[in-house]
Amino acid sequence: MINMAKISPFRAFRPAVDKVHLVASRSYVSYDEEQLHDKLSNNPYTFIHVINPDYDEPLPTRDGSIDRFVKVRTKFENFVKEGVYVQDEAPCLYVYRQIKSGLDSIGVIAGVHADDYRSGHIKIHEQTLAAREKIFCEYLDTTNFNAEPILLCHNDVPELNAFYQEVMERESAFHFSTTDELEHQLWLLTDPQEMEFVQSLFDQMPALYIADGHHRSASSALLAEKRRAENPTATELPSDFFMAFMIPASGLVIHGYHRLVSTLGEMSVAQFLNAIGERVSVQKLEHKDALPKVGTIDLYIDHAWYRLDFSEEVNLELPDAAWLKQQVLLPILNVQDARTDPRISFEPETTGIDRIVQMVDTGKAACAFILHPVPFDQLKKISDLGESMPPKSTWIEPKLRSGLTIFEFSEPNK
């Protein structure tokens, strides 16, 4: 069996216990302008102040600029000086648990090695953009920290799951709820034998799979290369590692992404349906009661539901979204790239079918394709093959908080 190399304990900066529910935030990009204004105006402790340090200044720095990154670092240092953040005295592994609506996700936060990303032990299912990698590498190099862990997934390991159950019986360092109805718990593993036990279990895993954070992983690996080039005699640098939250597959939920088409161009609804029917079985549905199964896609158009059934063609190497592109979007609608074509938009499964139906009925979209979520086994298979999912194939939970644990690159992890 190929070893996973290593995970590493580290000395996290963590919010003061009395402020943690105020500090830890959702990802910055998940807030709209009104929500950001409310958070920044009414909560002096939110981590968003670190990410957006000059929001109230008359001449704010430009997004993505080194000047902005320097201010992010300065704001974080101010939070440390003010006691908002305190660094743990010794390296730890951190067991984190998140609960919402029956989803109970528990795993370990640790440093993972950039070499494992480069060697393919940490597997990807999404291609990254070099320009975004470069910008985020500059951000990491300037701010000198990870504030939100990469979400990695692995096969369930009974010994590890049993250990987590035992940890949950202990008193946690943090236990709080947030306004998005999430419950959060964090435990510190400080005992060397316990840390070695957890590390030994990860050493035996053949692979970890990126569930969320492809660009951040790639940028962290880029930073590791940069700092190694600057320190050629060093055997190991803090920047060789980046922070990740690793959970078993049983704690992961993969939601689907649906496709909306704004216009059929010169085609009528009947012509469009006929064109699809020449390629796949199309059955009109009397009613819509659930998400389609893998190998079928539901089409809503002109106040009616249709089911496209290509289940005989299903294999783990062909996601339903890829089939839709190959058999419908490209040959019938001439959609060359769904990421850039203005006719195509994406809605996560969590939007709800009723909302998508409304968008079609009111003319905001000509039709909608409803897809089944990608099974974890399929995500693994595609990652193992070194292939990529189509854009907007997965919307994954748990969604992690920013600023709950800060991984700094300025000192050895051990």
Domain boundaries, the chain: 7-252+398-408, 254-395
Whether 120 shows a pLDDT value over 60: the answer reads yes
DSSP 306-365: EEEE-GGG--TTS-HHHHHIIIIITTTT--S-TTT-TTEEEEEGGG-HHHHHHHHHTTS-
CA–CA dist 310, 286 (Å, integer): 20
For residue 226, what pLDDT is reported?
Answer: 94
- Any idea which residue has 């748990």 for tokens? 398
pTM of the predicted model, to two decimals? 0.90
- Any idea which residue has 């993969």 for tokens? 254
For residue 395, what pLDDT is reported?
Answer: 87
For residue 126, what pLDDT is reported?
Answer: 85
Q: What is the pLDDT of residues 189-234, one digit of tens each?
A: 999 999 999 999 999 998 999 999 999 999 999 999 999 999 999 8
For residue 48, what pLDDT is reported?
Answer: 95
Decide yes or no: CATH 3.90.1150.10 for domain 254-395: no
CB 205 within 8 A of CB 157: yes
Q: pLDDT band at 74, cuts 50/70/90? A: very high
Whether 7 shows a pLDDT value over 90: the answer reads yes
Element (H, E) at 72: helix 66-81
Whether 2 shows a pLDDT value over 60: the answer reads no
Q: pLDDT band at 51, cuts 50/70/90? A: very high
Q: Rounded mean pLDDT of 239-244?
A: 96
CA–CA dist 186, 167 (Å, integer): 10
CB 209 within 8 A of CB 125: yes
CB 285 within 8 A of CB 305: yes
Q: Rounded mean pLDDT of 138-151?
A: 96
CA-wise closest residue to 339 among 329, 350, 353: 329
What three-state secondary structure class fits 138? helix
Q: Rounded mean pLDDT of 60-79?
A: 94
Q: What is the pLDDT of residues 345-404, one digit of tens each?
A: 999 988 889 999 999 999 999 999 999 999 898 899 899 988 888 888 888 999 899 999
Per the prediction, the chain carries an average pLDDT of 92
Q: pLDDT band at 411, cuts 50/70/90? A: low
End-to-end Cα distance, the chain: 27
For residue 57, what pLDDT is reported?
Answer: 85
Q: pLDDT band at 21, cuts 50/70/90? A: very high
Q: What is the pLDDT of residues 173-190, one digit of tens each?
A: 999 999 888 999 999 999
For residue 274, what pLDDT is reported?
Answer: 96
Judge if the upstream peptide bond of residue 398 is cis by omega within 30 degrees of 0: yes
Q: Rounded mean pLDDT of 274-302?
A: 91
For residue 260, what pLDDT is reported?
Answer: 97
% pLDDT > 90, the chain:
73
